[in-house]
């Protein structure tokens, strides 16, 4: 059998997935207490300090970036979705924090040697084909000062291979329902999601695909991008285990 190894999504598909339906019920998908735990883990893994500069790639609606700003970091967020960035800016205003939000493509980062740290959180890495995914890492490296750190958080593909597929997640508030159907293709190492939203009497379906990498692949790619050391962790910075749900990578430039 022949398999397409370049099952990456295009920019229009990314924009159509990360839309108002993505925002709808987002507080149920990622409740505030989870976001608070995520921020604590990111702060520790990147050894952030008040006044330190940090770039979030694929910042979405600002649930992480705005909380980091509340802790005193100088935060810049880059995202391809105007819809999500408007929500991020509104939330920053409500929290009375300043975050620089920029519309852009993480494959072409508009800064050089500017940040102390950068990160891609909650499976934000792997949207594209292998060549473009590696390009993201090179761009991230270029945006960092010497000694900077890059953090990547992704599903652990060993756990995905072990778990029964597909899996279903359902969130509901009153008559509005969001369903996510996730399947993992071990031959292409891509996680494929179908989102079904029932809202205001309408049903909408959207598909999304992410490439998952193992740690040895990360080491190769990150060293090629200019990083000197690469470390592996599990969920929220715990010790990595093959059966754990997350692979967290920290690279030092």
Tokens coding 227: 């990083």
Q: Tell whether the model's pLDDT for residue 86 goes beyond 60.
A: yes
Q: What is the pLDDT of residues 27-64, one digit of tens each?
A: 999 999 999 999 999 999 999 999 999 999 999 999 99
pLDDT over 50 (residue 19): yes
CB count, 10 Å around CB of 50? 8
Report CA 64 to chain centroid distance, whole Å.
10
Whole-angstrom Cα distance, residue 67 to residue 159? 29
| Domain residue extents for the chain | 11-154+214-252, 161-205
Q: Mean per-residue pLDDT for 227-249? A: 97
How distant is the alpha carbon of residue 101 from its chain centre? 16
- What would the pLDDT profile of 151-204 be if each residue is shown by its tens digit? 999 999 999 998 888 999 999 999 999 999 999 999 999 999 999 999 998 999
Q: What is the pLDDT of residue 163?
A: 84
Q: Residue 10's pLDDT is what?
A: 56
Q: Is the pLDDT of residue 4 over 90?
A: no
Crossing angle (nearest 10°) for helices 130-143 and 215-224: 60
Q: What is the pLDDT of residue 157?
A: 94
Question: Domain 11-154+214-252 carries which CATH code?
Answer: 3.40.50.150
**Could you identify the residue written with the tokens 């270029």?**
142
């Amino acid at each position: 059998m022949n398999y397409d190894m370049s099952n990456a999504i295009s920019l229009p598909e990314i924009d159509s997935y990360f839309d108002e339906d993505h925002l709808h019920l987002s507080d149920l998908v990622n409740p505030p207490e989870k976001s608070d735990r995520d921020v604590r883990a990111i702060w520790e893994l990147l050894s952030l300090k008040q006044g330190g500069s940090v770039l979030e790639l694929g910042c979405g609606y600002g649930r992480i970036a705005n909380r980091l700003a509340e802790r005193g970091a100088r935060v810049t967020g880059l995202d391809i979705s105007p819809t999500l960035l408007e929500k991020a800016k509104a939330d920053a205003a409500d929290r009375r924090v300043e975050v620089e939000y920029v519309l852009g493509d993480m494959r072409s980062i508009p800064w050089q040697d500017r940040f102390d740290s950068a990160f891609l959180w909650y499976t934000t890495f792997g949207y594209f084909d292998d060549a473009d995914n590696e390009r993201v890492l090179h761009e991230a490296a270029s945006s960092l000062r010497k000694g900077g750190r890059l953090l990547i958080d992704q599903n652990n593909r060993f756990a995905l291979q072990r778990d029964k597929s597909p899996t279903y997640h359902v969130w509901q508030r009153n008559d509005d329902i969001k369903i996510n159907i996730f399947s993992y293709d071990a031959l292409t190492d891509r996680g494929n999601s179908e989102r079904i939203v029932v809202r205001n009497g309408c049903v909408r379906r959207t598909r999304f695909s992410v490439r998952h990498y193992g740690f040895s692949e990360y080491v190769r790619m990150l060293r090629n991008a200019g990083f000197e050391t690469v470390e592996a962790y599990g969920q929220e910075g715990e010790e990595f285990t093959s059966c754990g749900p997350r692979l967290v990578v920290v690279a030092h430039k």
